A and B are shown apart, each in its own frame.
Chain A
Amino acid sequence: MKFRISKEAFLEGLQKVQHVVSSRTTLPILSNVLLVAKDGRLQFTTTDLDVGITGSVEAQIEKEGATTLPAKRLVSIVRELPASEVEVTVDAKNHAQIRSGPSFFKIIGLSETEFPPLPDFEGARVFKIPQQVLRDGLRKTSYAISTDETRYVLNGIFTSFRDGKMTLVATDGRRLAMVDADLEFPASHETDVIIPTKAVQELQRLLGDAGEVVVKLSDNQISFTVGDSLLASKLIEGNYPNYRQVIPGDSNERVVISREALLETVRRVSLLSSDKSNSVKLVFSENHIEITANSPDVGEAQESMDVAYTGRPMQIAFNPEFLQAPLRALDAEDVYLDLIDEMSPGVLRIEGSFLYVLMPMRVTN
């Protein structure tokens, strides 16, 4: 096969798919990217057998064909090429010659017939979701996914299509984030799945602001199509725990806080929290919150915020990172913090659909 392509387009196409390639793999073919030159486009595909991704860019195809080349090496070569035009020729032995301006590279690939094809989604259930809705939903929940591999069902986002709604949930046992959005789909499509972390990360790279993403669901696989890019992934098998048990009932106190101000204050104060006492304390009094951190061997920090608070005086401590994560992911002006008492979880909400349950730290005075 033979094609010419601009360096930028080549790099863009590669970068879209390169994160799936794992550096430690038992099958050498999996560290390669599949290149298919056809119909004026160059298509890129990578897979680690759990997650596979494919996308394409425009190219000037002089001779159609396909091959696989080592992905990481190809990316580093293309990134360093001196000229803006690249010409690639691949012979029958899968030896690729890359010419750009004065430089010449020859790299050895493997036959495209060895490359495992992406799974087939014939007869799958199809959902159409606005890209922005899914992207927002993932951004507002993905940080709460558990990384503890002993509870593998929590290593992903629980996605439920029920009652005309799509609900996304992630939890690691200390906090839980949930978003739901109205979505039209036939009642026969109702189902729950768990999308693994790696697929969530790739999907977030793929999704844009406008247009729809087409989601296909088979028994144990899911795929997402955005334009001519396709992401396919295995689903996590198993039952997601009944997360609704975590969500507290009626709160006693509610306070409205500017999201950005709270985020910045917590960030500043947390500079004085340490590994040993990794917490910030929120002390509520009338129209006032005092946020403090204190590490016995390091020092202490405090900052006060004026808020509209009329409840009883109370204090509660949180892990600063867990408190900041949702604040960073949200874009609302104000957040609501609902509290019961210092031992019960706090709940963060916004105007619109979002809920974040956060377990308090033990306050020791």
Chain B
Amino acid sequence: MEKEDVAVDAIVSENTDCSESDRGWNQVCEALRGMVGADAFQRWFRLATWMGEEDGIAAVAVPGEIHQVWIETNYLPELTNAVTSVFEDVREVSVVLTEVAGLPGLEGSPQSAARSRKAEAVVLEGDALDKRAKAAGLNPANTFDSFVVGGNSQFAHAACLAVAKKSGVGYNPLFIHGGPGLGKTHLMQAIGQEILRSQPGARVIYLTCEKFTNEFIDAIRRGDIEKFRRRYRSTDVMLIDDVQFLGGKERSQEEFFHTFNTLLDGRNQVVLTCDRPACEIKSLEPRLISRFECGLTVEMQPPQMETRLAILKKKAFDWKVRVDSSVLSFLAEKIRTNVRRLEGALMRVATYSSLAGESVTVDKVEHLLRDLIREEASRQVSIDAIQKAVADHFDVRLADMTSRRRPASIAFPRQIAMYLSRSLTKGSLMEIGEAFGGRDHGTVIHACKKVTEMIEGEAGLKETLERIESQLRR
């Protein structure tokens, strides 16, 4: 090892057992010095360390944020050039901070020995979990501790906890479905974190289905599909969010199918989330649907009033904001559909009260959140509203909806209205029949069946129904 200059010396002395990649980095430094000049090199790159390369992206760690800013804005082309001249696989170089430079994600790749030694020296014990979670793509805030369990999510929560404790054995795959903002992602990420915590050696990957697809396409384009497969088929725990996006993507589905099988065969845990049951995902291959359904399927329901209130109280406590309990009850009562929205509303109230420096009243909140509340209220569609909208649309009298008259020009709109009442409200067949002039429940069934058939056969009817529906939702 040459000791001809001070700058390289600093790096070399740190790594007396010089591995191949360290030698490469020394070559990079030499090249870099020529490109940026000795002064700039000394100032910005002397303390930089090589973190390794993965998927064509190399990481170089620097000690301070100012180094990161300055190198990224001024020296990135030189750095990239110098790195690619030595490491041929690299396409891109990212500059990271030494203290954040990650352990995982890069683990298991050939040159990890030197790197993890360096990284271990700088990662703080207490934050290690957070850092690993982040590197796995998880949000450290989403843990089991921070999840509020209610009747709506009890089963899902229990199932996830069981998976986290004994991954790969019992419920594999675990399929969580439910509407947006109900905590699917939260529970799924909690599984990942719990596993990382209890089995620090586990390889956990969390990604959205969209990212899976994108990386797959990238891999095809670059022609290194092998690398992609190695990466995803060798994980211990795979968490995939929003699988409904697989619908219609045939090649991705196929790749996913094989990845999925490999993981299940190796008894590696797979967790999936989706905004609807697997069988309702449009244009998804039947063999994938059956794979999704072969483990445990749990559904997340919108939280009830008590759970919503508990969530708000917990959030208010976590954020250290003081909000009157009457205001919390008001929020919990008005915002029913979505936990994310509930938190957003609380955030708005909390921000307002901290800025206004006064406690907020229910009246004020009602004013502050009127857009949300209006939107929430409008989600509840009544049979009356449906009758009116349908009567308007077909230009018949509202009274005809309930009358005994049955010429086709009236009977057809009436059937449409019954069909919509069945699909948009929670009314039973009896209730709906009652609302349409005391008709029998069989009449309602017949109407629904007939309209369903006509949607298939008659062009334009589907659009008509959608138009009326969107009017009702407004």
Binding site for B on A (CB under 8 A): 27, 49, 114, 116-117, 119-120, 151, 153-154, 171-174, 239, 241-243, 245-246, 248, 340-341, 343-344, 359
A340-B39, A341-B37, A343-B37 are contacts. A117–B357 as well, Cβ < 8 Å?
A: yes
Instruction: Contact check, A344 vs B37: say whether CB atoms are below 8 A apart.
Output: yes
Tell me the smallest distance from the CB of A45 to a CB of chain B, in Å. 13
A173 close to B355 (CB less than 8 A): no
Q: B40: CB under 8 A from chain A?
A: yes
Q: Are A173 and B368 in contact (CB under 8 A)?
A: no
Specify the chain A residue showing the minimal Cβ separation from B356.
A116
CA distance A65 to B48 in the complex (A): 64
A46 to chain B, nearest CB (A): 14
Tell me the smallest distance from the CB of B114 to a CB of chain A, in Å. Answer: 27
Any A CB within 8 A of the CB of B232: no
Chain B positions 346-395 with a Cβ under 8 Å from a chain A Cβ: 351-352, 355-358, 364, 367-368
Is the Cβ of A119 less than 8 Å from the Cβ of B37? no
A27 touches B356 (CB 8 A): no
Q: Does B64 contact A245, Cβ atoms closer than 8 Å?
A: yes
| Beta-carbon contact of A174 and B74 below 8 Å | yes
Of all chain A residues, which has the CB nearest B364? Answer: A114
B352 and A341 form a contact (CB under 8 A):
no
Assess A242 versus B66: contact at CB under 8 Å? Given A173-B74, A343-B40.
Answer: yes
25 contacts between A and B (CB under 8 A): A114-B364, A117-B358, A119-B355, A151-B69, A153-B65, A154-B69, A173-B69, A173-B70, A173-B72, A173-B73, A173-B74, A174-B73, A239-B65, A241-B66, A242-B65, A243-B66, A245-B43, A245-B64, A245-B70, A246-B66, A248-B43, A340-B39, A343-B37, A343-B39, A344-B40
- Minimum C-beta distance from B346 to chain A (A): 15
Tell me whether A241 and B39 are in contact in the complex, defined as CB-CB below 8 angstroms, given that A116-B352, A119-B357, A173-B69 are known contacts: no
Q: Is the CB of A343 within 8 A of B74?
A: no
Cβ of B36 within 8 Å of any chain A Cβ, yes or no, is yes
Q: Is the interface of B mostly helix, strand, loop or mixed?
A: helix
Q: Specify which chain B residues have a CB less than 8 angstroms from the CB of A151 in the assembled complex.
A: 69
**Bound CA–CA A154/B43 (angstroms):** 21
Bound complex: CA A340 to CA B66 (Å): 21
- Considering the chains assembled together, what is the distance between the CA atoms of A293 and B357 in angstroms? 56
CB distance from B356 to the nearest CB of A (A): 5
Question: Cβ of B40: which chain A residues have Cβ within 8 Å of it?
Answer: 343-344
Q: B370: nearest residue on chain A (CB-CB)? A: A28
Q: How many A-B residue pairs have CB under 8 A?
A: 56
B355 touches A114 (CB 8 A): no
Contact with A along B23-47 (1 / 0, CB 8 A): 0000000000000110110010000
Q: A154-B69, A174-B73, A248-B39 are in contact. Are A241 and B64 (CB under 8 A)?
A: yes
- For A153, A172, A241, the residue with the greatest tally of chain B CB atoms inside 10 Å of its CB is A241
Give A349 Cβ to nearest chain B Cβ, in Å: 18
Tell me the residues in window 55-86 of chain B with beta carbons closer than 8 Å to chain A beta carbons.
Answer: 64-67, 69-70, 72-74
Q: Determine the chain A residues whose CB is within 8 A of the CB of B357 once the complex forms.
A: 117, 119-120
Interface centre among B36, B355, B358 (most CB of A within 10 A): B355
Which residues on B sit within 8 Å (CB–CB) of A340? 39
Q: Could you tell me if A114 and B39 are in contact, using CB atoms closer than 8 angstroms?
A: no
**A28, chain B: closest CB distance, angstroms:** 10
How many Å from the CB of B61 to the closest CB on chain A?
16
Cα of A319 to Cα of B368 in the assembled complex, Å: 48
- Min CB–CB distance B63 → chain A (angstroms): 10
Closest residue of chain B to A113, judged by CB?
A: B364
Q: Which residues of B contact A114 (CB under 8 A)?
A: 364, 367
Across the interface, do A241 and B73 meet the contact criterion of CB distance under 8 Å?
Answer: no
Q: Name the residue among B37, B43, B66, B351 with the largest chain A CB count within 10 angstroms.
A: B66
Cβ of A44 to closest chain B Cβ, rounded Å: 19
* A242 and B64 contact, Cβ closer than 8 Å, known pairs A117-B356, A359-B74: yes
Do A341 and B73 form a contact, CB below 8 Å, given A114-B367, A119-B357? no
Which of B67, B351, B356, B364 sits near A245, CB closer than 8 Å?
B67
